[in-house]
Amino acid sequence: MNRTLLAGLISCSGLAFMPPSAWAAPASTPSGQDRASAASGRPSPATDPASFSRLPVKDVTVFKDGHAFVRHAGQVTLDAQGKAQLDRLPTPIMGAFWVSSVEPGLLKSVTAGWRDVAVRRKGLDLIDLIEANVGRAAIITEVDGQPYSAVIEDVPLRRDPEGDSAAAPAQPTLRQAPPPSSGAEVVVLRMAHGVRVLPLSRIRDLSFPDGYEPRVSRSEQRTLLTLDFGAGARPGSTVDVGMGYVQRGLRWIPSYRFEAREGGRAHVWMQATLLNELTDLQDATVNLVIGVPTFSFKETLDPMAMQQSLAQLSSYFREGDRNNLANFMSNAVMSQTMRMSEYAEQPAPGTGAADLGPDAPQGGAVEDLFVWTLEHVSLRKGDRMVLPVTEFDVTYADRFVLEVPISPLPEMRNHFNSRYESDLAKLLIAPKVMHRLRITNSTEHPLTTAPILMLRDGRPLGQGLMTYTPPRGTVDVDVTAAVGIAVAKSDSEVERTPKDLTWRREVYQRIDLQGSVTLTNFKDVPVDVSVIRHVLGIVDEASHEGKLRKQNVLELSPGAGSSGLPQWWYWYSWPWWWWNVNGVGRVDWEAHIEPGASVELTYLWHYYYP
């Protein structure tokens, strides 16, 4: 993690560069789970869940790539050895896991390891209830038999759970599910005339005249975090501690709603969708970060995680997945493509509007990051939540843009595979004028990369992609193809001049071409259209004060329309000499077209070929 990002994490989490000892804040300690029943007749496991301490989440700093900086703070109760155990072991990335006490020097060490834990759960079958009620009187009815009274003496296990307590699973998980059964096949009953061993398969009916215990106690291996405060610590006392780490599993997805109004003004609402697959949040502070995080060891787990891999997360957290928006929702200024499979849940009939969470938060800049802070957020692990973030006014202007893509040369088409012909025909269809909105960010905070739904008079105009825009900056958002502006394009060869260029003893002919783009305005109002034309070769001349440029192909983005590299670009094996004698030319026009009028934009260009 770079220095700037670390500063942002600590500052926006309320730590304000405090030493680790100051991370913790006092909090009450939950009571934990019930103790195992003494009547079960089982040996006590090494650790009783009732002795565990839990540190609530105080605040989280959430990044759009799915990582989050989580800060826990609370009190732990020390046992007779001056230790405290936490049963929620995180899965942090390398070098981003810290535990400390408020009082400096009090915490001696932190140990992660596998321990046997008593787990109590509701009995789901006959053997569970028999095992849970060892020592109780029961009335047993066997198959084809009469009921009789007995005391459940024991349930011998085929596999003693304590026998393998030192052996951790080959591929452990953070929390193992209890086994479906204990492996027992018989039950030992104490009767008036002695002890009877009865196969479980013989029992048809079972009742408890004096009440019963519905929960069974089982031994289960878990990864625990042991905090050692030294031999001098007073048993039973409480200590304020804190824990912070960076882990993948919590992300936020922004979105905008844009309502166009009269006079080139618009009102914008911003909301955040929280996806929580990390840990429960209860009345926590959530910091939403606008910025590009750098986690140098995000693919490497910290050794304290005690696991070989991260828990399986949904597709929203997987890199390279179609539904992973991390690449698309980064704050890059370059053109981006995005697919989404988000959906909005509607409130149930009669319940009113959906609860969107806390009120609009406050935001502030932290170094290279901008942070929106939301207070009192509660969200269980596995749930999603939509939160209103802010709303503001902006100015905008309608723009019409025509981008004419690069066309392959005739010499190139001879090298294309026949199966590409239909695809190439689709790519060369006459381009359309796009209606765009040029939005000016007149706020004091940046606009982040996010989907934007554009409306006018309550009706949708379209949905586009807002890219990162700093304060006082502008961004163009595609609305839809413009209706009422027709486009016609024509290119033709003018002449060929043999032996016009010699380079490195190679002789090249010059091919001169001419082209035109004709725009016709069928609207009732005049329009201004920005036209961009890219060609393979060197542009010599353009009408209507067209601006000529030679483009650096290394700066063109793949799959970004005519301002980038088209799909067919990768179908052709470019010869070694091409970029030394040719290039990519570009012409830019600004055309004003009255209603019912047309404008023809012409241009000349050439290229060299052997």
Among 197, 213, 229, identify where a domain stops: 213
| pLDDT for 326 beyond 70 | no
Among 213, 241, 269, identify where a domain stops: 213
Tell me the CA distances in angstroms from 189 to 23, 147, 572, one per residue in order. Answer: 56, 14, 83
Structure tokens at 548: 């000529």
Residues 6+ away with beta carbon under 8 Å from 337: 328, 559, 560
Is the separation of the CB atoms in 371 and 61 below 8 Å? yes
- Cα(402)–Cα(425) distance, integer angstroms: 19
Least confident of 239-253, 297-311, 350-364, 365-379: 350-364
Instruction: Give the model's confidence band at 569: pLDDT under 50 very low, under 70 low, under 90 confident, else very high.
Output: confident
Least confident of 108-122, 195-209, 412-426, 507-521: 412-426
Average pLDDT, the chain: 78
| For range 347-373, the mean pLDDT | 53
| For range 396-409, the mean pLDDT | 88
When computed from its CA atoms, the radius of gyration of the chain, rounded to whole angstroms, is 35
Q: Is residue 600 part of a domain?
A: yes
427-457 pLDDT, tens digit each: 666 688 999 999 999 999 999 999 999 999 8
Q: Is residue 478 part of a domain?
A: no
Range list of β-strands (E), 292-427: 362-366, 369-379, 384-404
- Cα(188)–Cα(166) distance, integer angstroms: 29
Beta bridge partners of 395: 265, 440
Q: What is the pLDDT of residue 155?
A: 87
Say what the pTM is. Answer: 0.69
Residues 6+ away with beta carbon under 8 Å from 146: none
Q: Is residue 204 part of a domain?
A: yes
Q: Is residue 113 part of a domain?
A: no
| pLDDT for 401 beyond 90 | yes
- Higher pLDDT, residue 118 or 391: 391
Q: Is residue 152 part of a domain?
A: yes
Q: What is the pLDDT of residue 577?
A: 87
The pairing of beta strand 506-521 with beta strand 369-379: unpaired
Q: Is residue 566 part of a domain?
A: yes
- Higher pLDDT, residue 605 or 329: 605
Share of the chain above pLDDT 70, in %: 72
Least confident of 165-174, 255-264, 469-478: 165-174
Instruction: Give the model's confidence band at 366: pLDDT under 50 very low, under 70 low, under 90 confident, else very high.
Output: low
Buried b vs exposed e over 250-261: b needs ≥16 C-beta within 10 Å? bbbbbbbebbbe
Sign, CA dihedral 173-179-182-185, equals negative
Is the separation of the CB atoms in 75 and 28 below 8 Å? yes
344: how many CB neighbours lie within 10 A of its CB? 8
- Pick the closest to residue 468 from 449, 445, 440 (CA basis): 449
- Cα(25)–Cα(199) distance, integer angstroms: 56
| pLDDT for 175 beyond 90 | no
Is the separation of the CB atoms in 451 and 466 below 8 Å? yes
- Cα(407)–Cα(603) distance, integer angstroms: 15
- Pick the closest to residue 23 from 81, 89, 104 (CA basis): 104
Torsion angle of C-alpha atoms 87, 91, 93, 98, degrees rounded to 10: -10
| pLDDT for 167 beyond 50 | no
Q: What is the pLDDT of residue 293?
A: 73
| pLDDT for 458 beyond 70 | yes
| pLDDT for 554 beyond 70 | no
| For range 264-280, the mean pLDDT | 94
**DSSP class of 325:** -
Range list of β-strands (E), 33-147: 57-62, 67-77, 83-86, 97-101, 109-122, 137-142
Is the separation of the CB atoms in 436 and 478 below 8 Å? yes
Instruction: Give the model's confidence band at 245: pLDDT under 50 very low, under 70 low, under 90 confident, else very high.
Output: very high
- Cα(8)–Cα(14) distance, integer angstroms: 10
Q: What is the pLDDT of residue 27?
A: 39
Greatest pairwise CA separation for the chain in angstroms: 118
| pLDDT for 18 beyond 60 | no
Q: Is residue 119 part of a domain?
A: no
Beta bridge partners of 73: 242
The pairing of beta strand 557-558 with beta strand 564-565: parallel
| pLDDT for 74 beyond 50 | yes
Count of structural domains within the chain: 2
Q: What is the pLDDT of residue 298?
A: 82
- Cα(466)–Cα(394) distance, integer angstroms: 14
| For range 499-525, the mean pLDDT | 93
| pLDDT for 388 beyond 50 | yes
**Domain ranges, residue 170:** 124-213
Q: What is the pLDDT of residue 125?
A: 84
Q: Is residue 28 part of a domain?
A: no
Among 198, 213, 228, identify where a domain stops: 213
Assign residue 190 the CATH number of its domain. Answer: 2.30.30
| pLDDT for 354 beyond 90 | no
| pLDDT for 60 beyond 70 | yes
- Cα(486)–Cα(473) distance, integer angstroms: 31
43: how many CB neighbours lie within 10 A of its CB? 11
Q: What is the pLDDT of residue 35?
A: 32
| pLDDT for 69 beyond 70 | yes
